[in-house]
Structures are given as structure tokens and as C-alpha cells.
């Protein structure tokens, strides 16, 4: 049986009297790919930050890598966070540091990851080579394009070989080609390093790619894991969020068959067709 | 690095303001003292005014304008671009990494800057006392130095130390609480300068009252 690696139980959070997350329940198992779909302001980023306890929930319980992190102190969280990689929506790169220092930051600042200088340099180089930016060591984030900054963010998130990687809108604001490159690198990380992946995005294409493509190291690109017209799924669960609530949870097939107006509009960019296919429509969680 | 930015970076403007305050004080005081035929006491009045009040307060206001705003905008920018979240996620305590160095650098450098401002202010006064009022350099300098007691020196150095702590903490507080993108950074910066400047005057009154009651 798959081991739960991240678990939310009835988690709620309010900001300035407004409910941002409402009784969220979800479980991410080891090896899973978890796609959080939702429009801007639906609560995706807040959920990812709660998963690392960067913000505190008002109520409920959050379990990460077997630890109840709901009420842990900041100092107690540092050790747990060493096993989590995170790519922030804005990249979160330190603009006063060059790329090498950015990527080596977790290795230099987390006691449990302390390593000799030559080993740190080798791991930084390997991590940057992984995202095909091995030549940018001495550059500063401001000298790189938006896509390159995201790739450096992926390198930094995964330089510690985390058990779970959280990606917050990794393709937001990027052109389709760069977005494809970023998604390919995320899938490469998922498969070559066996990392559990949680991906928050507003682009359905990203989730579809995660569910149906895998990394082929021989051709150095992603390839479709199932013929066109069928679903590979690849241990992928889709969650759709709307105004702090989970309105759908299920597979891609169930998602595409959903009759929920919000879900359907989100996926198809239009209201649901009047005569849709019958069958399993996933867990319709909305009223 | 913080000491260089806060201390060395502020030195030219602090020295300039110190010099002008000494010059203006000397011109104003000499006029008032001339009424009583006591222009030879100009050095004393200027010295006490600068060491006890003008040096610490003017330097603090400059540091508030230059460094509280700098700290708030730098930390605010880091906050809105998720660099502070990244720092926490990557295993660093932002308080240790960002706030403590700024607090220590300001607390160490501001008394030094104030001492320099005081000295340059007295030199400015000397220039006016000799060239405009007609005092001799020796007359001005000895009256300016002789009047200063230990109490004045302690007061003149304690004030900037306390101001520094307040200014840096206010800057850090507003920086770390920034939200709302670039507009939020601007708002935090403005609040940091206004609030720290007001606190400088409030604390000045309190410390002055303490020293007045001690003597």
C-alpha cells in the first residue's frame, strides 16, 4: 500500500475575515503526481505554503513525511523541510546572489546537509546541468530570462534530492515552448529521481502532460505514455479548487467527464455541453 | 556588508549635515549672545547643543530617512518576491539572517556616525566663530570642550544607540510585513521612515528627561 507523504485533514484558513481555505482534505501518496488546478485566488499557493508550514492553519491537521507539522516551531521544521523541494510562483531566487550561491543555498544553510566545499560544488553543477543551465554559475538572476529563472528554481528545489517537490505555477507567464521545457524538467525530476510531485497550476495542459507523458532519457525528451485519445494517468490525481474549496478530485478521465460548470469551464474554456458522456464523473464535491 | 552600507554609506551626508548644523547654530547663537556681550561663550552653547541634541537627533533622522527606508524596501521586496519564504523553506531563519545583522550594524555604526557629526559640527562652528564672529580658534575650542561633562558624552552616545535599535527594528518590522506587490513596498518604506522619525523624537524626550533628572 502506498505510503501517505502529505496529508491535509479538515484544514481551514482565513485572512482578514475571509475564508481562504475551507475544510481541505487530501492525501498525497509516495510516488504520486498531484495536480492542483484552479483559477488565480482559488487557494493553490496558500495550500502549498501550508504544506511546508510557511503559514499556519486556523484549524485542521497537516501531516508531512509522517510528521504532524500543524503546530511545530520554525526551528523544528527546518529538518523536515530538507526533504521537501519547492519552486515558488515568483521563483524566489535571491537576487543579491549568483546562480551558484542560489542553488547551493540549502546545502550551505541546512546543518543536516553540511558537506565539504568540493562536494557542494559538484552537486550544484550536477543540479544545474540537470536543468541544462550548467553554464550560468556566475550569472545573477537578473541576467536570466523568466524561463531560465524557473529552471534555476527547479535546480535549487531539487539539489537536496527531496522526497517531495512542490511546484507553484511553474509555467505561469511563460510562452508555450518554455512552458513545455519547464514541464519536461519537472517530469524528468519526477521519474529519474523518483520524486513525489505536487503541481499547482491554472493550465490544464500542464496537468494533462504530467498525467500522460514520461521522460525518456534515451531521446532526452518527454514521450506520450499512452496513445492519443486514451489516458495514461501515471499515478496522477487531479484536484480542482474554487474559492478555497476542493470542487473536484479524481483522475483525468473523470475530470474531463465532469458536469460541474466551474470544472468544465475551467477545462474546456466553455460551459459543459448539454449532452455529455455518461459514466463515472469523479467526486463532485461542490454543492 | 551592512556596516559598510549603513555606516560608510551614510558618512558623507552625516558629515555634511553636521557641518551645516554647526555653522547655523553658531550664527544663530552668536547673534543672541551678542545682546549680552557674551559672544566669547559661543563655543559652549554650540558644543552643548550639538553634543546633547542636534548631533544625535539630526543623525538619527538621516539614518531613518536613508536606512530605515532602505531596510524596509529591501526586505519588503524580498517578501513580495517570496525570497523570505524561500529562505525559510531552504532552512534559514530570516530573523538571524536578515534582521540581526541590520540591527547590530545600525547599533554599532550610528553612535560612531553621531560622534563624527558632532565633531564636524564643532568644526563648522569654529569656522564661523573665527571668520564671522571674531573669536580666536583657541577661545572657541577651549570653551566648547571645557563645558562638556561626562553626562553630556554619555547622553550624546546613548541616544544614538537607542535610536539605532528603534530605527532598524521599525525598518525590519515594516519590511517583513510588506504585502501587495510594489505598491506595498512603497507603503512600507514610507511608514518605516515616518514611524521611526516620530519614535526618534519620543525617545529623545524620554532620554533627555532621564538625564535632566539625574543632574
Q: Does A52 touch chain B (CB under 8 A)?
A: yes
| Helical pair A117-130 and A99-109, crossing angle rounded to 10 deg | 130
End residue of a domain, out of A161, A176, A194: A161
- Contact at CB, A54 and B92, closer than 8 angstroms: no
Judgement on whether residues A154 and A181 belong to the same structural domain of the protein: no
Residues A167, A212 within the same domain: yes
Q: Quickly state the pLDDT bin for A269 (edges 50, 70, 90).
A: low
Q: Which residue in chain A is spatially nearest to B181 when comparing CA positions?
A: A90
Task: Choose among B83, B91, B93: nearest Cβ to A82.
Answer: B91
Whether B89 sits inside 8 A of A89 (CB atoms) is: no
Could you tell me if residue A150 is inside a domain? yes
d(CA B98, CA B93): 8
Residues A14 and A53 in one domain: yes
Q: Do A110 and B90 touch (CB under 8 A)?
A: yes
Same domain, A105 and A216: no
Are A229 and A173 in the same domain?
yes
For A51, which residue in chain B has the nearest alpha carbon? Answer: B89
| Mutation site, B78, B81, B91, interface A, largest A CB count within 10 A | B91
* Beta-carbon separation of A86 and B93 below 8 A: no
Rounded to the nearest angstrom, the minimum Cα separation between B81 and chain A is 6
What is the structure's pLDDT at A276?
Answer: 47
Q: Among residues 91-110 of chain A, which lie with CB inside 8 Å of chain B?
A: 91-95, 105-106, 109-110
**Cell 550560468 -> residue:** A136
**In sequence order, what are the beta bridge partners of A166?**
A86, A198
Mean pLDDT of all residues belonging to chain B:
90
A4 touches chain B (CB under 8 A): no
pLDDT at B181: 86
Number of structural domains (chain A) is: 2
Q: Give the whole-angstrom CA distance, residue A248 versus residue A279.
A: 16
Provide, as residue numbers in chain B, all residues whose Cβ is less than 8 Å from the Cβ of A95.
81, 83
Assign residue A60 the CATH number of its domain.
3.40.50.300
Integer Cα distance of A110 and B90 in angstroms? 7
- Which pLDDT score is estimated for A274? 58
Listed in sequence order, the DSSP H helices in B36-82 are 42-48, 55-63, 69-80
pLDDT at residue A241 in the model = 92
**DSSP 8-state assignment for residue B4:** I
Residue range A88-116: average pLDDT? 88
Residue B90 with chain A: CB contacts under 8 Å? 81, 105-106, 109-110, 156
- pLDDT value, residue B151: 85
Question: Is residue A28 one of the residues assigned to a domain?
Answer: yes
Residue B45, classed as helix, strand or coil, is helix
Q: Are A20 and A157 in a shared domain?
A: no
Q: Compute how many other C-beta atoms are within 10 angstroms of the C-beta atom of residue B70.
A: 21
Mean pLDDT in residue range A82-88 = 91
pTM of the model: 0.82
pLDDT digits (tens, 9 = 90+) for A202-232: 889 899 999 999 888 888 888 888 888 788 8
With beta carbons less than 8 A apart as the criterion, state whether B170 and B196 touch.
yes
Q: How confident is the model at residue A114 (pLDDT cuts 50, 70, 90)?
A: confident
Question: What is the distance between the alpha carbons of residues B133 and B162, in angstroms, rounded to a whole number?
Answer: 36
Instruction: Tell whether A150 and A187 lie within a shared domain.
Output: no
- B89 contacts in A (CB within 8 Å)? 52, 54, 81, 84, 86, 88, 92
State pLDDT tens for residues B181-194: 889 999 999 999 99
Looking at residue B160, its pLDDT comes to 94
Which pLDDT score, from 0 to 100, does residue B68 have?
A: 93
Q: Which domain holds residue A38?
A: 4-83+162-284
Task: List CB contacts (< 8 A) between A52 and chain B.
Answer: 89
pLDDT of residue A286: 43
Q: What are phi and psi of A98, to 5 degrees?
A: -75, 175
Q: Are residues A102 and A141 in the same domain?
A: yes
Residue A263 distance to chain B (closest CA, Å)? 29
- Residue A189 placed within a domain: yes
Residues 6 or more apart whose Cβ sits within 8 Å of residue A149: A91, A93, A141
pLDDT in tens, B148-193: 888 888 989 999 999 999 999 999 999 999 988 889 999 999 999 9
Bridge partners, residue A212, by sequence: none
Report the gap between the CA of B86 and the closest CA in chain A (Å).
6
Specify whether A149 is located in the same domain as A74.
no
- pLDDT at position A281 over 60: no
CB-nearest to A90 from B81, B87, B92 is B81
- Rounded CA-CA distance B71/A110 in Å is 25
H helical segments located in A139-284: 146-158, 176-192, 204-212, 252-256, 261-268
Domain boundary among A135, A161, A187: A161
Helix, strand, coil share of chain B (percent; to 5): 90, 0, 10
Return the pLDDT at A163.
92
CB A210, CB A187: distance < 8 Å: yes
Domain boundary among A161, A183, A201: A161
Per-residue burial over B12-34, b = 16 or more CB atoms within 10 Å of its CB, e = otherwise: ebbbebbbebbbbbbbebbeebe
Q: Are residues A16 and A141 in the same domain?
A: no
Q: Which of A78, A88, A110 sits opposite B85 (nearest CB)?
A: A88
pLDDT tens digit sequence for B5-46? 777 888 899 999 999 999 998 888 888 887 887 777 888 888
Q: Are strands A67-68 and A59-64 parallel, antiparallel or unpaired?
A: antiparallel
Task: Name B49's Cβ contacts closer than 8 Å, sequence gap at least 6.
Answer: B25, B29
Quick one: cell of A246?
476542493
Instruction: Indicate if the pLDDT at residue A161 is higher than 50.
Output: yes
Same domain, A270 and A191: yes
Q: Cα dist. A206→A162, A187, A238, B113 in Å?
A: 21, 10, 11, 56
Q: Given this model, what pLDDT does residue A137 score?
A: 92
Asked whether residue A277 carries a pLDDT value surpassing 70, the answer given is no
Average pLDDT, chain A: 87
Confidence of residue A1 (pLDDT cuts 50, 70, 90): low
Q: From residue A227, how far is each of A204, A220, A224 by CA, in Å?
A: 19, 20, 7
Q: What is the pLDDT of residues A25-34, one digit of tens each?
A: 999 999 999 9
Residues A67 and A107 in one domain: no
A12: buried, middle or exposed (CB in 10 Å: 19+, 13-18, 0-12)?
middle
The more confident residue out of B108 and A275 is: B108
- For β-strands A283-284 and A245-250, DSSP reports them as antiparallel
Is there a contact between B90 and A109 if contact means CB atoms under 8 Å apart? yes
Among B164, B183, B182, which residue's Cα sits nearest to residue B64? B164
pLDDT for A8-66, tens place per residue? 999 999 988 889 999 999 999 999 999 999 888 889 999 999 999 999 999 999 999 99
A88 inside domain: no
Nearest-by-Cβ selection for B89 from A75, A81, A95? A81
Q: B91 vs A95: CB contact, 8 Å cut-off?
A: no
Say if A139 is an interface residue toward chain B (CB within 8 Å): no
Contact call for B85 and A106, based on CB within 8 A: no
Q: Is residue A126 part of a domain?
A: yes
CA B163 – CA B167 distance, rounded (Å): 6
- Specify whether the CB–CB gap between A81 and B90 falls below 8 A: yes
- Residue A231 burial by Cβ neighbours in a 10 Å radius (0-12, 13-18, 19+): middle
Q: What is the DSSP string of A17-57?
A: TEEEEEEEEEEEETT-EEEEEE-TTSSHHHHHHHHTTSS--
Q: Looking at the complex, report in whole angstroms how far the Cα of residue A224 sits from the nearest Cα belonging to chain B.
A: 33
pLDDT of A273 reads 56
pLDDT (tens digit per residue) in B50-101: 999 999 999 999 999 999 999 999 999 999 999 999 999 988 889 999 999 9
Amino acid at each position: 500500500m502506498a505510503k501517505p507523504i502529505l496529508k491535509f485533514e479538515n484544514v481551514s484558513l482565513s485572512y482578514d475575515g475571509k475564508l481562504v481555505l475551507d475544510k481541505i482534505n487530501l492525501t498525497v501518496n509516495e510516488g504520486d503526481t498531484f495536480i492542483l488546478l484552479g483559477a488565480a485566488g482559488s487557494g493553490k499557493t496558500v495550500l502549498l505554503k501550508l504544506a511546508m508550514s510557511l503559514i499556519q492553519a486556523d484549524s485542521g491537521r497537516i501531516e508531512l513525511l509522517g510528521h504532524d507539522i500543524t503546530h511545530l516551531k520554525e526551528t523544528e521544521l527546518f529538518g523536515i523541510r530538507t526533504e521537501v523541494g519547492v519552486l515558488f510562483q515568483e521563483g524566489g531566487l535571491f537576487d543579491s546572489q549568483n546562480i551558484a550561491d542560489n542553488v547551493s543555498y540549502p546545502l550551505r544553510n541546512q546543518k543536516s546537509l553540511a558537506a565539504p566545499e568540493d562536494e557542494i560544488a559538484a552537486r550544484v553543477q550536477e543540479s544545474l546541468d540537470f536543468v541544462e543551465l550548467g553554464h550560468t554559475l556566475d550569472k545573477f538572476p537578473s541576467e536570466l530570462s523568466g524561463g531560465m529563472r524557473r529552471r534555476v528554481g527547479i535546480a535549487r528545489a531539487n539539489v537536496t534530492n527531496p522526497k517531495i517537490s512542490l511546484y507553484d505555477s511553474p509555467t505561469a507567464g511563460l510562452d508555450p515552448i518554455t512552458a513545455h521545457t519547464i514541464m519536461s524538467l519537472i517530469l524528468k525530476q519526477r521519474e529519474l529521481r523518483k520524486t513525489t510531485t505536487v503541481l499547482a497550476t491554472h493550465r490544464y495542459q500542464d496537468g494533462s502532460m504530467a498525467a500522460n507523458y514520461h521522460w525518456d532519457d534515451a531521446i532526452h525528451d518527454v514521450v506520450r505514455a499512452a496513445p492519443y485519445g486514451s489516458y495514461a494517468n501515471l499515478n496522477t490525481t487531479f484536484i480542482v479548487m474554487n474559492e478555497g474549496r476542493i470542487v473536484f478530485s479524481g483522475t483525468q478521465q473523470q475530470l474531463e467527464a465532469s458536469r460541474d460548470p466551474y470544472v468544465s469551464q475551467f477545462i474546456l474554456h466553455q460551459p459543459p455541453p448539454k449532452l455529455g458522456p455518461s459514466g463515472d464523473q469523479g467526486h463532485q464535491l461542490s454543492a | 556588508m551592512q556596516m559598510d552600507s549603513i555606516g560608510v554609506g551614510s558618512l558623507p551626508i552625516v558629515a555634511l549635515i553636521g557641518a551645516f548644523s554647526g555653522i547655523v547654530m553658531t550664527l544663530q547663537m552668536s547673534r543672541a549672545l551678542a545682546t549680552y556681550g557674551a559672544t566669547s561663550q559661543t563655543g559652549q552653547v554650540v558644543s552643548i547643543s550639538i553634543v546633547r541634541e542636534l548631533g544625535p537627533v539630526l543623525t538619527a533622522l538621516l539614518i531613518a530617512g536613508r536606512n530605515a527606508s532602505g531596510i524596509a524596501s529591501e526586505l519588503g521586496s524580498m517578501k513580495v518576491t517570496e525570497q523570505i519564504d524561500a529562505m525559510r523553506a531552504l532552512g534559514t531563519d530570516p530573523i538571524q539572517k536578515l534582521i540581526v545583522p541590520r540591527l547590530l550594524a545600525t547599533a554599532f555604526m550610528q553612535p560612531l556616525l553621531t560622534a563624527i557629526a558632532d565633531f564636524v559640527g564643532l568644526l563648522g562652528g569654529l569656522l564661523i566663530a573665527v571668520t564671522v564672529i571674531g573669536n580666536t580658534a583657541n577661545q572657541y575650542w577651549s570653551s566648547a570642550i571645557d563645558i562638556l561633562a561626562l553626562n553630556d558624552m554619555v547622553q550624546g552616545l546613548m541616544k544614538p544607540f537607542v535610536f539605532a535599535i528603534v530605527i532598524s527594528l521599525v525598518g525590519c518590522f515594516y519590511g517583513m510585513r510588506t504585502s501587495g506587490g510594489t505598491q506595498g513596498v512603497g507603503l512600507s518604506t514610507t511608514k518605516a521612515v515616518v514611524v521611526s522619525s516620530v519614535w526618534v523624537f519620543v525617545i529623545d524626550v524620554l532620554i533627555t528627561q532621564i538625564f535632566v533628572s539625574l543632574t
